[in-house]
Chain A
Amino acid sequence: MDSPATLEKPQRWDSSFDPEQTPANVARLLATEPFSGMDPARFPKRTPLAGILQHDTRIRRFRNGEIIVREGDYGTSAFLILAGGARVVLRPSLPAAVLGRRTTQRKGFAEIIAQLWSNPRDPEVRKRAELAQDSRGRSRTGQDNAVRVFLQDLPRILDEHQTATMSAGDVFGEIAALSRTPRTATIFAVGDDTELLEMRWQGLRDLLRCDDRLRAHIDGIYRQRTLATHLREIPIFRQLKQEQLDQVMAQTQFTTYGDYDWSGDYKRLAKTGSVAPEKETVIAQEGDYPNGVILIRSGFARLSQKFGRGHRTLNYLGAGREFGLSEIAQNWRNKNATIPFQHTLRVVGYTHILTVPTAVMEEVVFPNLPPEMVAALGPAEPVPVAAPIAATAREARPDALDAGAKIGPELMEFLTEHRFFNGTATMVIDLERCTRCDDCVRACASTHGNNPRFLRSGPSSGNVMIANACMHCADPVCLIGCPTGAIHRGMAGGEVVINQATCIGCQLCANNCPYEAIRMVETRDESGAFRLDKDLRPIVKATKCDLCVEQVGGPACERACPHGALQRMDMNNLDAFANWLHR
């Protein structure tokens, strides 16, 4: 018999943030605040403080006016200023063009008509005007071959924008790194000798676990800047008075599960066919005591229930959804017939959650809710724990589970396993109505200079196919790390677009995209000749579906389908998807 294939078990620090991080640097960092004040004995042996600094951090030097983080970008690291200074732009924000983005404008009537004759014959033609960059932000390639973006005319920027200074010892970017939310401000270096320590989120998470002071500091910032806003977005907390909300905020815990690099993991797992619910981290287990209401802040979680020997997916919960509220509400109203969690909540990729403890819900939140809101939380009578899903689920969580039931378990598994819930404009095709006429592809090409921006093929389940088109993800991993900010969210609709002028063709976004919806293309000039760089290599740009942001009337693919077979859908709105399936 063949011996089983063995594989080295991956270790936490197989891949260092900076392979060239030296022991001397680590020693220097250990002598610098806040690390000098940390107690190395409190760190586990597997992840010592020196190890974190060695493998999860890197020292970066910035020159005067160089952009460190851009407002609206997604990032997975925080920064500590070691030397020099930085300025954060407060208000007004820097214009989009300065940050390497473009302001999307819908085409005027004349421009729409002009498309009749102005579409080029050759593929991937970029007109000169399309590639013109804003002179107030210039990218340069440094000695390390990294592309750096500098703000030009700094005095004018300082005149026109209110800024705040940060100096050695200040930390920034930690909330965006820990909660996977967009950066809230642009920060640029002041002086040519600005030295920053960039900490990737895994290292920052470990530091928080083992150092009370840093945890308290970040905890404070989080509660002060983010928590109140987030809780106010949720109806049951919106009803509370300020002092009651303060009580809730003081007791709320926040945790990040999983891995921000889920897209890379997902690609690997998908190739080996080992994407399975059983391998996902459990946040809350069916049958356990409900010790708090779980609020999803970012990322996604899978809601499942035991079925036979496995678990079947009922729904997936994205930002703004809650888990456990109906169980806790029922227990509060029926003290003698308490029920445990009715479902299991698992991490899909990564999930950032807030937990409001049961005691706080019972003492502060429920007593202050208006009666109609209490009634809406679920049935007043106890729900039997062992009742079949059709009974418990529908009565307890009508919003979350009806759609899942309508969609069916096979399709739910398909959507979850392929992580399609991430899409806010997923291209869904009903194969039983699609006549394969390719009108959608032709419409896409006509509206994009004769270049189709998607493929009418992709994974399918039953009669539903998810086409290979950008889904404009809720968690757009393609945005992470773009050196020039070329790929960004549109200002108006939040669609993910690429500025052709500032795209340097580095392929980072294409490699990051778990759905392989971004393609690299060799560009041409108006005469049809390839655009070449100084080494005579074709200039490559990233391209993808832009949801026809510049066109009037919405996505051309959807409008072009004669049989109503193609729809761009927000997969977070399963009700709409279920209705579309049964239309």
Chain B
Amino acid sequence: MKGFAKRRLQWIAALVVATVVAALGYVRWAEELQRFTYLTGWLLFALMLVLTAYNTRKKLPFLPLGKSETWLEFHIYAGYFTAVLFLAHVRVRWPTGWFETVLFLLYVVVALSGIVGLILTRGLPKRLTAHGGEVLFERIPFVRRDLHEKSEALALQSATTQKTPIIAEFYARHLGDYFARHRHFFHHLLEIRSPLNALLNKLTDLKRFLNTDERAVAEQLSDLVRQKDGLDYQRALQLTLRLWLFVHIPATYSLMLWSLAHIILVYGFSGGTR
């Protein structure tokens, strides 16, 4: 068995064992043991602390804290296990009261955003690589500006040399805005090619009204449209690969703070339960 598959199997085996142990514990002690909820609560909080610490590890690459890859693998599978502990902790019941509902919802947001992030990070890199024409994310605005200037120059040049405004008018109506900003984010994300095809079809339709020189200009514009489409594709996917963390990380910190408040409240109002 090869590296990735072998490791995945090992982590899954560990997760299954931990889940079975937790489930057996729940069945055996959930009703009998008064402290069971405290136990699952503390285990859950401790595990969430370790999971949150992954972001801190990323910020301290010079400390000998092990490979980030191992941390992420633990983060994923321990993250799945928190769901088991969470269900055991809430005793598979819907929370009561607004405080606990918020806590519950925060957990759901963190868990779901993590799962979505995992799906995105496994799928989008393959699509980016297969599509080709990759540009560093930080360079994308510069490349877009360059394409915008080139296309605008072509349209203006056509207006002055051909003495007919047909391409310039087409540019102003259909292409100016297309090159001026990034477009069709969701289309690219969902791999829908209709906006590009529509634009290229319009350019093809236009050609019947153009002379040979103008057709050459239209051809060059079509080429720039394709390049811009490729750039927008890169931006949409690379941005998505970054954006999900903007949900996952703030939600995680909110969850940790809310959990801390939850612990304080539990101990503050436990009324001598020991």
Report which of B64, B69, B134, B241 forms a contact with A564, defined as CB distance below 8 A. Answer: B69
Q: Which listed residue, A112, A113, A436, A442, touches B137 by the CB 8 Å rule?
A: A436
Q: Are A582 and B2 in contact (CB under 8 A)?
A: yes
B46-70 interface mask toward A, CB cutoff 8 Å, 1 = contact, 0 = none? 0000000000001111111011110
**A562 cross-chain contacts in B, Cβ below 8 A:** 58, 68-69, 71-72
Query: For residue A434, which residues in chain B have a CB less than 8 angstroms away from its CB?
Result: 125
Q: A435-B241, A562-B72, A582-B2 are in contact. Are A115 and B128 (CB under 8 A)?
A: no
Known contacts: A457-B136, A563-B69. The answer to whether A432 contacts B126 by CB under 8 A is yes
* Residue numbers in B under 8 Å from A457 (CB-CB): 136
User: Bound complex: CA of A551 vs CA of B136, how far in Å?
Assistant: 28
Chain B 112-143: CB-based contact to A (< 8 A → 1; otherwise 0):
00000000010011101100001011000000
A131 on interface, CB distance cutoff 8 Å: no
Check if A395 is an interface residue, CB within 8 A of chain B. Answer: no
| Interface range, B side | 20 to 34
Say yes or no: A436 contacts B61, CB within 8 Å. Answer: no
Q: In the complex, are the beta carbons of B121 and A463 less than 8 A apart?
A: no
Which residues of chain A from 559 to 574 have any CB-CB distance to chain B below 8 Å in the complex? 559-565
Query: What is the size, in residues, of chain A's interface with B at 8 Å between Cβ atoms?
Result: 36
Q: Is the CB of A436 within 8 A of B128?
A: yes
Residues on A with C-beta less than 8 A from B136 are 456-457
CB-based nearest B residue for A580: B3
Residues in B whose Cβ lies below 8 Å from that of A142:
none
The verdict on A439 contacting chain B, using a C-beta distance below 8 Å, is yes
| Residue B242 at the chain A interface, CB threshold 8 Å | yes
Chain B residue at smallest Cβ distance from A579 = B3
* Given contact pairs A112-B64, A560-B61, A432 touches B238 in the complex (Cβ within 8 A): no
Chain B residues with CB below 8 A from A116, complex form: 60
- Asked whether any CB of chain B lies closer than 8 Å to the CB of A552, the reply is yes
Assuming the contacts A562-B71, A562-B72, asked whether A439 and B125 have C-beta atoms less than 8 A apart, the reply is: no
Query: When chains A and B are docked, how far (Å) is the Cα of A551 from the Cα of B61?
Result: 10
In the complex the two chains form, is A559's CB within 8 Å of B67's CB?
yes
Interface string of A133-158 (1 = CB under 8 A from B): 00000000000000000000000000
From the candidates A112, A442, A456, name the one contacting B63 in the complex (CB within 8 A): A112
Measured between alpha carbons, how far is A273 from B66 in the docked complex, in Å? 42
**Beta-carbon contact of A437 and B242 below 8 Å:** yes
9 shortest interchain CB distances as A-B pairs: A443-B61, A583-B3, A431-B129, A562-B72, A564-B69, A553-B64, A556-B61, A435-B121, A562-B68
List the interface of chain A (C-beta within 8 A of B): 107, 112-113, 115-116, 431-437, 439, 442-443, 446-447, 456-457, 460, 462-463, 551-553, 556, 558-565, 582-583
Chain B residues near A (Cβ < 8 Å): 2-4, 58-64, 66-69, 71-72, 121, 124-126, 128-129, 134, 136-137, 238, 241-242
Q: Would you mind naming 18 contact pairs between A and B with Cβ atoms under 8 Å apart?
A: A112-B64, A115-B62, A431-B125, A431-B128, A434-B125, A436-B238, A437-B242, A443-B61, A447-B62, A552-B64, A559-B68, A560-B61, A562-B58, A562-B71, A563-B121, A564-B69, A583-B2, A583-B3
